[in-house]
Structure 1
């Protein structure tokens, strides 16, 4: 409901909007588009979990967050901690998240079913070393969204939360080109270092 409310507010303020999402945000973007495509002129989907493949790195990082008192700034787990805004907590507390995990899988299934309806330019960015999202998600996009609308960018050196410097430049250029193609100005600057989403 929050996502729908925010999109409706933007639709009142702007004639045209582009939905941009990372991870679960991409699922919410596609669902919002399918429910009410008016005024939505594009979608940018970064690391879309249409299918999940949890790798050891994800498990290790989550265990560090759950059981470590201090995580160094250079540790990839730190990027996950910042991105998820979740404080270390007890194992019992983690178990209470099960309903939210089930919700995520429902959203994944719902999104896969409606992708064939997408009829606006769509930029899909996928990190090849993503520790959570399966590369089969890319194949789903290729099968379901018309090539007339789909632009796919692969980032060979990036994970779900950490982007390599060259990949970040690639991502930035693709994003700006996409915005410019939708008649939107883009003037972002990227410092030369690894960034987190």
Structure 2
């Protein structure tokens, strides 16, 4: 069963489409500020809800290959209609976007991984998450969950308090599901392994955005992408005032402007209107 909030979001714009993936068992809610800025800048924006990957009341998660096949199908549908298609994603959505870029090669106009999760190794990762592979092979795996805990990927304390109230009352929040099942985490780990092995196949211009204090995925994931992709145009933006949820945290406006500016640089034909510089970030750019 799919809830109305878990139906994806499509915003028609110009001939440059941006395919954006939310995090695991999440929805487009966590992407809203970014989606709005991209659409206001004229881009066509597609934030789909993938079966078994995005949030749903049905606990079934399918498998990582099914997630990727759906993402590739969505990319192909957009590529058939739009001359340029970029892929972007947050958290596990960044991992999925990188996998799409690896599979589709030069057809991808740009790839923008935000808070890339190639390893669950942030400072707030529960110690028992590392035991999840063992729990997966028990008969009770479908009943075992790992609950999200503060700070919920947010350095912004006011927003964090609001999310904490949501977590207590609802199964879904603006930062994703309040708990992740062992099957979901198991399939996510398999997707991470696939993506790590195939980074060398990525040739699209790449913008990597990652918080220095990411609580879910250490910045080494971003460095790994920067080091291994085959693209000749790679930029890493390091954020100093955010945690994992960079599309919602203190630097969300700056992140959205950086993404927009990057995409405009590769837009063909170039945008004729005046392009303002992205909002400066407190973090370092390298």
TM-score (normalizing by structure 2): 0.52
**CA apart distance, 1:82:** 1.4
Give, in whole Å, the separation in 2 of the partners of 1:118 and 1:133: 21
Partner of 2:75: 7
List, as ranges, runs of 4+ consecutive aligned residues in structure 1 with deviation greater than 6 Å: none
Aligned: 1:151 with 2:243:
no
Partner of 1:123, secondary structure, is strand
**CA apart distance, 1:114:** 0.9
**CA apart distance, 1:64:** 6.8
Give, in whole Å, the separation in 2 of the partners of 1:135 and 1:64: 19
**CA apart distance, 1:134:** 1.2
Unpaired runs of 5+ residues, structure 2, are: 1-68, 128-146, 152-157, 168-172, 276-286
8 A contact 1:15–1:39 mirrored in 2: no
8 A contact 2:105–2:201 mirrored in 1: no
Q: How many residues align?
A: 172
Partner of 1:36: 104
Give, in whole Å, the separation in 2 of the partners of 1:18 and 1:102: 28
Give, in whole Å, the separation in 1 of the partners of 2:112 and 2:159: 29
Partner of 2:249: 163
What CA deviation, in whole Å up to 9, does each residue of 1:87-138 have, x standing for no partner? 6xxxxxx58x111101111111111111112111000000122110112112
More moved, 109-118 vs 145-154: 145-154
Aligned: 1:128 with 2:212:
yes
What CA deviation, in whole Å up to 9, does each residue of 1:121-177 have, x standing for no partner? 00000012211011211221232125722110011110112421xx33432332122
Partner of 2:16: none
8 A contact 2:101–2:204 mirrored in 1: no
What CA deviation, in whole Å up to 9, does each residue of 1:24-70 have, x standing for no partner? 111111212222225311001100001221433879x82479xxxxx
Greater helix fraction, Structure 1 or Structure 2 = 1
Cα 1:77–1:62 shift into 2, 3 Å: farther
Q: 2:191 aligns with which of 107, 128, 136?
A: 107
RMSD: 3.2
Give, in whole Å, the separation in 2 of the partners of 1:168 and 1:4: 27
Cα 1:131–1:119 shift into 2, 3 Å: same
